[in-house]
Structure 1
Amino acid sequence: MSYRDKQSVTDPIPDITGSLTLYAQWQQQSRYGLAGLVSTDSAPAVPIPNATITIRQGNTVLSVTKSDENGQYSFTNLLPGSYNVVCTYDGKTVTKAVVVTDGPVDVPFTLSNTAKNSLLVLGNDSGVTVPPLVVDGLASVADAQAQPGAVTTVKLTVTAKAPNETNGEQAAIQVLTKDQTVGLYLDAQLTCNGTSIGASNDTVLEILMPYDFSAKNDLKVLRWHDGVASELKELNSRPTSDFADGTWFKDVTRKQIIVYASKFSTYAVSYSTVSNNGGSSNFGGNSGGSSIYPIIVDKTSAAHGELISDKSVASAGAKITISAKPDSGYRLHHLIVTDANGKAILYTNKGNDTYTFAMPNSKATVSAEFVRQSENSFTDVNSGTYYYDAVEWALDKGITGGTGAATFAPDGICTRAQTVTFLWRAMGSPEPTVTNCSFTDVAKDAYYYKAVLWATEKGITVGTSAKTFSPDKTVTRAQTVTFLWRAAGKSTVTTTNPFGDVKASNYYANAVMWAVKEGITSGTSATVFSPAAGCTRAQIVTFLYRYLNK
């Protein structure tokens, strides 16, 4: 007889006494690389450097790297399995899924002129755990929902729900299980720019969920949607195209359930119990020469904290444990482990700021960034987004708060009043020397009154006319970089203008060139800046952060 990896057996041979000899054989699993090019969607395509690429399984970040000057990125040391690969750059976030099987994988990212964001957000009720889902197709939903010239943000939010006898959706599902055990309830909501599209979306997503099939039989995947509970159809084989909503496949080899869905509300998995050979859980992730190589801890990168390796040298394949110790008032923002070629190595977060990775066939370099702790409790600001650090910085500096106790509304469009107020607070809320405002649409009791006085006094804004400031009007990308440029001293930048929509005669021409040179923002493509596009709350605090937090 044989047993699976990590299986716990309490009585392997019932009713037989005496000694028992067990034999085990270990074999190192193969690991593979993942690489790709980040580029614009222009013709010809232009490589994008300094984009952030993250490999995730559910909420677990396995590794982070950035694209080089040629737009290329690479990871190494990936075990076979399913992963989400997320690319973020200048207000754009694209989420893809990849399955690593028996060789290296190429995952390119093409970023459009106007952001078409695709996000996966996982959460859970108290006492239950959300499985590490991997979802494919979100970028296709964003493509389908996109409108010309408008920012599109598609978000799939999945929450593991605790069983609740008073929940009508769960009760309707329970009727179909015929007294089976329901091991998991998931509430799934698909939105576009904050509006639910869970009923109207036609793009079928492929949702991969790790699952432990031991001691379970007659599995069912069920859904409550549009007032009706139903059982999804089980497929005999995993499809490669033409996915059908309301179907699923049991992949016993890879220990996962794959659900195909375009409609979203409440989902559940039920089963009949066959036997009990020891502890098992409903879901779990992938399991994991003689030359000696050094582990180099880059202490210069770890300001405001310390990195400690349990080994200074190790052979290939050895487990290395890294402990991060932030200074008081700081936290670990991210950890980067690379091999001798600069390729990112996947690591495992063991909790309590402890991480492990398998030693490559070369030296390993460990670096980190520690950032100041904040009171960020926003459910819509997730680590890994391009604006995460900027929001924490803005909260710490008192530049802005949330739109609610638990929301920041990063995709909310900013007004002219909000933008000059953010800038005024970022500069320390200086007291203006003038006390009367010439703009008839700026009331003395308005929260932005002093900010407008200061901005006018400093020549940062001149209003939309001699008598109007238009505080509630949407602020554009051109206006935002111009406010910053004027606050920074209105320097002249002599460089070639790559943007066809920024003319030398435009009032914002110098401001745009300055912002690009300073790394505050770039165009929406290699040749387009989109000066008239509205600026979101996330973008504006990011512009301020990049300018003032150098």
Structure 2
Amino acid sequence: MYTTYKQHGQNVTIYVTAKTGTLPDEGSLTLGVLSSDGARFTVEQASDLKVLNDSSAETVYPAVDVEDSGNSGGTQEPDEPTPPTEGEDGDGSDGTEDQTTYAITIRTSTGGKVTASAARAEQGEVITLNVAPNAGFELSSLTVTTSAGKKLSLADKGNGKYTFTMPAAAVAVTALFAPQETEPDFPFDDVAQGTWYYEGVRYAYEHGLMSGTGEGTFSPDLPTSRGMLVTILYRLAGSPAAGSASFTDVAPGQWYADGVAWASANGVVSGYTDGSFRPNDTITREQMAAILYQYARLQGKLDSGRADLSIFADVDDLSAYAKEPMSWAVAQGLFSGVSADMLAPGGSTTRAQAAVILTAFSKALG
């Protein structure tokens, strides 16, 4: 702990007194005289400190626990303000001036340290705090409060520097540090920030819903296949145990085989009348709406919201099986028209569109 005293034109005699036994000179040993000449000086180490002024009036201070630095972090308990010192001015006049200072206590959590420009200060002094997080950490919160619990205003000066004005009370500086949040590497060179699908692709990638098509590529403009969509939903469901698919064109061991088998067994897909699933076919917008509808039903997340599709001029192009699912999907905000009055139910869905739709779908399911 560092204890700072201001003296004006006074000499300070420092004594060391034994706690047990006696010392020469009636129990006290004079070590020396320190004259401040009106400037501030610091007592860096002290125990049972006793300060005498020139008139031999004494002020007794309590024991002080000294650490390597009172402003390097950890906890330093506040103490009482330094009392005023009386003395004579250089011209012989009796000048009495209050020089009360108040302690600045610093408490920090693991992950960094805070230093202050002073360990004690008078009311009105501007104190600078230097915040230094450790590698991999960042400042989470920084507060300065008085012993009465009043929070002081802090000014952020940039580069880890903050200032506050010292009140007429001891203060405690509390700094909390937290591990820095790091974003997973985003490997796709063909998905630029600022594109309408960037956040959707990023979410789908980070949550394991979609992966790339090659080293460093996502291929946002490629169409989404039926096998891709079913595999994505299978991952979203947690990749549960799956048997064998009964479709004639889904061979065991194919990358989509488990997803198709699981989706078929749970009524998420039904395939074509000829017994095929056609995993490599581009999925249409109405097929995607129907599959998402059935997945929501399976998860117990199928609410009653429905949209009026009569505003779309091509609503009659919807297949019978897709009318209810598409009405639901539009109400959920998963689909909108490709223009003001065209729904394009038979149109294809690109991988970028699929990523955006699946991101909204995943968030809606909670």
User: Could you tell me the TM-score, scaled by structure 2's length?
Assistant: 0.47
Larger radius of gyration: 2
Identify the structure with the greater strand proportion: 1
Identify the structure with the greater helix proportion: 2
